[in-house]
């Protein structure tokens, strides 16, 4: 027997309409690529999202057709999120930091019909447009008069010209909530990128889960700054969760340097900012160099990579900002866990609280977690035993677009590729990516642990620990370090820094100082490249 509740489908169009109706004058502020600030409301955003939907109808796009974006965080990108998905098409966010040939490969694989791009990315579009065989319409996210006449790109027009004639009174279609809504490709270590296809249902459920007090804790009293890009797992779903809660939304555009982010936080009275550790590193460096303070910022959400404990302390002790450590990946929409204290832990002394807060946190309802050994057997939640992290839930991937990569699930669970511990209170801590673990003499060394200790040294700006082949031990850890500008530290001093912090056999065999560490398109250190570069590095005897 079925219950007798209304059969309302969970649709992304409901999110923007809810915001337009209940938070009509709440603001969306965007730093444009031109450098100026653009400010309007959820009401305005809804009207223009409806125009996008009507414009897609006029182009004759079918249900579930893909519309690509190459864009920074900004109001037009937001309108595309809601207008494309709300009208039944699929918004396909493409990471502009990928090599152009990979962008073209992705657009072709997704069979994008339309591609919308910020003018910053015109050079990319010029390079790839003729190779994107399915794209019929190229939309430049600017005013009509800002599109150069001589690009040679067939089907190019401006966004403003494209939507202006359309009706803001468009009525959103109703359809099955499991319909595809958004597509995001993730680069594996091998093979082509694979597409993760979110549904309306998964997006709305994830927004509820992410707005909870123990996740992002979003309310109509918040002002949220997603520094994490909208081309990177939908900026962790923040545009959706903000519409759901009526939070003011601040979109930083292309200006992700410390100074720009700091000024935006101050000028817009941001309460919550979200990003990856490398962005916060830039912000903290700017703050320290110029003696700045925050006036409104309460919380920063840090995810994408493990956050160095030193960064959590600096935010808290120096600036009074609570770091919310979170974990997720493209395949998990992305939020899987967040690290907030439980009632009993609020009574612990600060150092014991810190031991909790450095973890990636507890699963939110909607995500089930387990750790398993090589044979797939579930391991204990003792905070010590580490194993492969598997997850399950209504916003977790079951397979990739077009079936690429086969069936990724193991007994119905998605294997994340992360290695983690889970303690008795459910707090999960990533100890490594399974491919980054260093196997030395039959034991595992966590590259993240070794990096965190290096990051706590005042002269170290960035550190990667990689395994280098060793005839006797299989692999031995080597530390690759970028020094802070003007700072000096010797190899011996850094290695001495490890004594007493890890077992002696876990101390790196060598330190390699470099000018920079290669970062991937999502800002993560590319340790695979370092391993390749230093695979013949001579190890001390």
267 contacts a copy of itself (rule: CB under 8 A): no
Given 51, 92, 200, 483, the residue binding a copy of itself (CB under 8 A): 200
Instruction: Give the containing element (helix H, strand E) for 197.
Output: strand 194-199
Q: How many residues does the chain have?
A: 541
Nearer to a copy of itself, 223 or 468 (CB): 223
Instruction: Give the containing element (helix H, strand E) for 231.
Output: none
Given 48, 201, 476, 531, the residue binding a copy of itself (CB under 8 A): 201
Best CA proximity match to 403, nearest among 102, 197, 101, 179: 197
Given 181, 297, 307, 438, the residue binding a copy of itself (CB under 8 A): 181
Nearer to a copy of itself, 217 or 508 (CB): 217
Q: Provide the CA 274 distance to its chain's centre, in angstroms.
A: 9
Q: How far apart are CA 18 and CA 125, in angstroms?
A: 35
CA-based diameter of the chain, in Å? Answer: 74
105 contacts a copy of itself (rule: CB under 8 A): no
400 contacts a copy of itself (rule: CB under 8 A): yes
123 Cβ partners below 8 Å, 6+ apart? Answer: none
Q: How far apart are CA 250 and CA 246, in angstroms?
A: 12
Number of chain positions touching a copy of itself (CB under 8 A): 78
Contact flags string 341-370 toward a copy of itself, x per CB under 8 A? xxxx-x---------------xx-x--x--
449 contacts a copy of itself (rule: CB under 8 A): no
Nearer to a copy of itself, 342 or 535 (CB): 342
Nearer to a copy of itself, 223 or 517 (CB): 223
User: Is 493 an active-site residue?
Assistant: no
Ordered DSSP codes for 243-290: HHHT-EEEE-BT--SHHHHHHHHHHTT-SEEEE-HHHHHHHHHHHHHH
Instruction: Give the containing element (helix H, strand E) for 238.
Output: helix 238-245
Nearer to a copy of itself, 200 or 527 (CB): 200
Q: Which one of the spans 73-81, 92-100, 206-214, 432-440 is the region binding a copy of itself (CB under 8 A)?
A: 206-214
199 contacts a copy of itself (rule: CB under 8 A): yes
2 contacts a copy of itself (rule: CB under 8 A): yes
Q: Which pair of structure tokens corresponds to residue 361? A: 């946190």
Nearer to a copy of itself, 118 or 222 (CB): 222
401 contacts a copy of itself (rule: CB under 8 A): yes
CA dihedral 354, 358, 359, 361 (to 10 degrees): 70
7 contacts a copy of itself (rule: CB under 8 A): yes
User: Is 439 an active-site residue?
Assistant: yes
User: Is 186 an active-site residue?
Assistant: yes
Backbone angles phi, psi at 127, to 5 degrees: -75, -30
Q: Which of 17, 160, 268, 331 is catalytic?
A: 331
Given 414, 473, 498, 534, the residue binding a copy of itself (CB under 8 A): 414
Binding to a copy of itself, residues 48-77 (CB under 8 A) = 63-64
Token look-up 């450095």 returns 358
Asked if residue 229 lies in contact with residue 73, where contact means CB atoms within 8 angstroms, the answer is: yes
115 contacts a copy of itself (rule: CB under 8 A): no
Given 158, 245, 429, 440, the residue binding a copy of itself (CB under 8 A): 245
Q: β-strands 27-31, 460-470: how paired?
A: unpaired
> What residues act catalytically?
186, 331, 439, 444
């Amino acid at each position: 027997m079925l219950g007798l509740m209304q059969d309302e489908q969970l649709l992304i169009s409901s999110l923007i309409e809810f915001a337009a109706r209940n938070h009509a004058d709440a603001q969306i502020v965007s730093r444009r690529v031109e450098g100026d600030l653009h400010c309007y409301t959820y009401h305005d955003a809804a009207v223009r999202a409806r125009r996008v939907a009507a414009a897609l109808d006029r182009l004759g796009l079918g249900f579930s057709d893909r519309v690509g974006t190459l864009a920074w965080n900004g109001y037009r990108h937001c309108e595309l999120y809601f207008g494309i998905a709300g009208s039944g098409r699929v918004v396909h966010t493409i990471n502009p930091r990928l090599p152009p040939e990979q962008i073209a490969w992705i657009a072709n694989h997704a069979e994008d019909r339309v591609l919308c791009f910020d003018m910053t990315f015109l050079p990319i579009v010029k390079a790839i447009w003729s190779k994107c065989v399915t794209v019929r319409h190229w939309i430049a996210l600017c005013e009509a008069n800002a599109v150069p006449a001589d690009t040679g790109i067939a089907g190019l027009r401006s966004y403003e010209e494209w939507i202006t004639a359309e009706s803001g009174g468009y009525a959103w279609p109703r359809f099955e909530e499991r319909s595809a809504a958004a597509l995001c490709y993730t680069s594996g270590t091998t093979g082509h990128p694979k597409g993760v296809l979110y549904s309306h249902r998964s997006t709305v459920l994830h927004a509820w889960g992410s707005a909870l007090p123990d996740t992002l804790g979003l309310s109509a009293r918040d002002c949220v700054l997603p520094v994490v890009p909208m081309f990177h797992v939908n900026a962790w779903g923040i545009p959706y969760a903000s519409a759901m809660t009526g939070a003011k939304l601040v979109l930083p555009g292309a200006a992700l340097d410390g100074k720009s982010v700091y000024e935006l936080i101050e000028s817009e009275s941001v309460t919550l900012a979200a990003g990856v550790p490398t962005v916060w590193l830039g912000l903290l460096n700017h703050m320290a160099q110029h003696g700045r303070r925050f006036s409104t910022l309460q919380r920063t959400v840090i995810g994408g990579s493990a956050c160095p404990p030193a960064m959590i302390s600096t935010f808290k002790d120096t600036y009074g900002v609570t770091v919310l450590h979170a974990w997720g990946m493209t395949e998990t929409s992305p939020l899987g866990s967040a690290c907030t204290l439980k009632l009993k832990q609020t009574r612990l002394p600060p150092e014991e609280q810190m031991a909790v807060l450095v973890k990636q946190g507890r699963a939110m309802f909607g995500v089930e977690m387990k750790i398993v050994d090589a044979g797939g057997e579930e391991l204990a939640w003792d905070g010590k035993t580490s194993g492969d992290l598997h997850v399950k839930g209504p916003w977790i991937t079951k397979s990739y677009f077009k079936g690429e990569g086969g069936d990724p699930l193991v007994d119905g669970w998605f294997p994340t590729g992360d290695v983690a511990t889970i303690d008795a209170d459910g707090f999960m801590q990533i100890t490594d990516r399974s491919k980054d673990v260093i196997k030395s003499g039959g034991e595992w060394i966590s590259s993240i642990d070794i990096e965190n200790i290096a990051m706590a040294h005042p002269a170290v700006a960035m550190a990667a620990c990689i395994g280098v082949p060793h005839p006797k031990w299989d692999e031995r850890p080597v530390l690759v370090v970028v020094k802070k500008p003007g700072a000096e530290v010797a190899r011996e001093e850094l290695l001495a820094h490890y004594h007493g912090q890890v077992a002696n056999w876990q101390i790196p065999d060598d330190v390699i100082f470099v000018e920079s560490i290669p970062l991937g398109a999502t800002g993560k250190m590319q340790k695979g490249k370092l391993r390749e570069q230093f695979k013949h590095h001579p190890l001390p005897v």
